[in-house]
A and B are shown apart, each in its own frame.
Chain A
Amino acid sequence: MADAPLIFSAVSSNAHHLYTLLQCIGFAPKATVQITPDGIRFSVEEGRVIQGLAFLDKALFTSYTFNPPTAPNNRSHEEDGYSDSTYLPCFVVSLSALLETLKIFGINDPSAAGVNKAASVQSSVPPSSNAFTTPALLGDRSCTLRYPQDGSPLSITLMETGVKTTCELTTYESDGGDIDIPLQRDAIIMKVIMRSSWLHNAVMELGATNPNILKLSACADKEPFFALSGTGGPFSESSVEFSIEQQSQDKGESSQSRKVLTEDGTSRTRAKRAKGTPTVTETFLVTPPPSMGSRVIQNYRFSLVQKAARAMAVANKVSIRGDKQGVLSLQFMIEFDTNGSGGVNSNVRPSGGISRPTVTFVDFRFVPLLDDEAADEGTVDLY
Chain B
Amino acid sequence: MRFRTQLCNVTTFSKLIGSLSSLGKVCWMRLEDGIIRFTIIPDQGTQVWAQLPVDAIFEESTYILEANSGVINLEVPVGALHRALRSAVAATSTQLRLTKKGNVPLLALTIHASSWTTGSNALGIADADQAATDHATVSGPRERETVIAQEVPVKVLHELSVEGLHEPRCRDPDVHIILPSLFQLKSISERFTKLATDSKGAGTALSSVAPKLELSANMHGSLKLAIATDSLRISSVWTDLVNPALDPAQLSQTELEQLPSERMRAFRDDDEAGWAKVRIDGKDWGRVLSVGRLSPKVVACFIHETALVLYVYLPGNGDDSCLTYYINSYAA
Q: Do A163 and B184 have beta carbons less than 8 Å apart?
A: yes
Q: Do A108 and B181 have beta carbons less than 8 Å apart?
A: yes
Total inter-chain residue pairs, C-beta < 8 Å: 69
Chain A proximity mask over B228-257: 1 for CB below 8 Å, otherwise 0: 001111111111100000000000000000
Instruction: Give Cα A166 to B183, complex, Å.
Output: 19
Rounded to whole Å, the gap between the CB of B137 and the closest CB of chain A is 42
Instruction: Give Cα A96 to B188, complex, Å.
Output: 16
Instruction: Give Cα A97 to B239, complex, Å.
Output: 25
Our pick among A104, A108, A166, A170 for the contact of B230 (Cβ within 8 Å) is: A170
Our pick among A100, A103, A165, A168 for the contact of B198 (Cβ within 8 Å) is: A100
Q: Which residues of B are found within 8 Å of A153, using beta-carbon distances?
A: 232-233
Q: Do A94 and B183 have beta carbons less than 8 Å apart?
A: no
Is A162 close to B, CB under 8 A?
yes
Is B191 close to A, CB under 8 A?
yes
Chain A proximity mask over B200-234: 1 for CB below 8 Å, otherwise 0: 00100000000000000000000000000011111
Contact flag A96-B198 (CB < 8 Å), given A164-B237, A167-B234: yes
Q: Which residues of B are found within 8 Å of A101, using beta-carbon distances?
A: 191, 195, 232, 234
Instruction: Please give the number of chain B residues whose Cβ is less than 8 angstroms from any Cβ of chain A in the complex.
Output: 23
Q: Which residues of A are found within 8 Å of B181, using beta-carbon distances?
A: 108
Is A107 close to B, CB under 8 A?
yes
Chain B proximity mask over A157-176: 1 for CB below 8 Å, otherwise 0: 00000111111111000000
Rounded to whole Å, the gap between the CB of A164 and the closest CB of chain B is 5
Q: Do A108 and B183 have beta carbons less than 8 Å apart?
A: yes
Q: Do A103 and B191 have beta carbons less than 8 Å apart?
A: yes
Q: Which residues of B are found within 8 Å of A103, using beta-carbon distances?
A: 191
Is B112 close to A, CB under 8 A?
no
Q: Do B239 and A162 have beta carbons less than 8 Å apart?
A: yes
Q: Do B195 and A97 have beta carbons less than 8 Å apart?
A: yes
Is A29 close to B, CB under 8 A?
yes
Q: Do B237 and A169 have beta carbons less than 8 Å apart?
A: no
Chain A proximity mask over B4-45: 1 for CB below 8 Å, otherwise 0: 000000000000000000000000000000000000000000
The chain A residue sitting closest to B230, CB to CB, is A170
Q: Do B233 and A100 have beta carbons less than 8 Å apart?
A: no
Q: Which residues of A are found within 8 Å of B240, using beta-carbon distances?
A: 162
Is B105 close to A, CB under 8 A?
no
Contact flag A104-B233 (CB < 8 Å), given A97-B199, A162-B180: no
Our pick among B202, B233, B235, B236 for the contact of A29 (Cβ within 8 Å) is: B202
Our pick among A93, A107, A170 for the contact of B188 (Cβ within 8 Å) is: A107
Instruction: Give Cα A67 to B231, complex, Å.
Output: 25
The chain B residue sitting closest to A93, CB to CB, is B231
Interface class of chain A by DSSP = mixed
Instruction: Give Cα A94 to B196, complex, Å.
Output: 12
Q: Do A163 and B232 have beta carbons less than 8 Å apart?
A: no
Is B194 close to A, CB under 8 A?
yes
Rounded to whole Å, the gap between the CB of B182 and the closest CB of chain A is 12
Q: Which residues of B are found within 8 Å of A166, using beta-carbon distances?
A: 234-237
Our pick among B184, B187, B191, B232 for the contact of A168 (Cβ within 8 Å) is: B232
Q: Do A104 and B232 have beta carbons less than 8 Å apart?
A: no
Q: Which residues of A are found within 8 Å of B183, using beta-carbon distances?
A: 108
The chain A residue sitting closest to B223, CB to CB, is A163
Contact flag A107-B195 (CB < 8 Å), given A162-B240, A168-B234: no
Rounded to whole Å, the gap between the CB of B282 and the closest CB of chain A is 13
Contact flag A165-B231 (CB < 8 Å), given A97-B198, A101-B195: no
* Interface-central residue, B180, B187, B195, B202, by most chain A CB under 10 Å: B195
Rounded to whole Å, the gap between the CB of A173 and the closest CB of chain B is 14
Q: Which residues of A are found within 8 Å of B238, using beta-carbon distances?
A: 162-163
Contact flag A165-B180 (CB < 8 Å), given A101-B195, A107-B187: no
Q: Do B234 and A94 have beta carbons less than 8 Å apart?
A: no
Contact flag A94-B231 (CB < 8 Å), given A100-B191, A164-B236: yes
The chain B residue sitting closest to A165, CB to CB, is B236
**5 further A-B pairs in the complex, CB-CB below 8 A; given A167-B234, A170-B230, A170-B232:** A97-B198, A101-B232, A163-B184, A168-B233, A169-B232
User: Shortest 5 CB-CB distances between A and B: which pairs?
Assistant: A167-B234, A165-B236, A94-B231, A107-B187, A168-B233
Q: Can you list 18 residue pairs at the A/B interface with Cβ under 8 Å? A: A94-B199, A96-B199, A97-B231, A100-B198, A101-B195, A104-B188, A104-B191, A107-B187, A162-B240, A163-B180, A163-B238, A164-B237, A164-B239, A165-B235, A166-B235, A166-B237, A167-B233, A167-B235
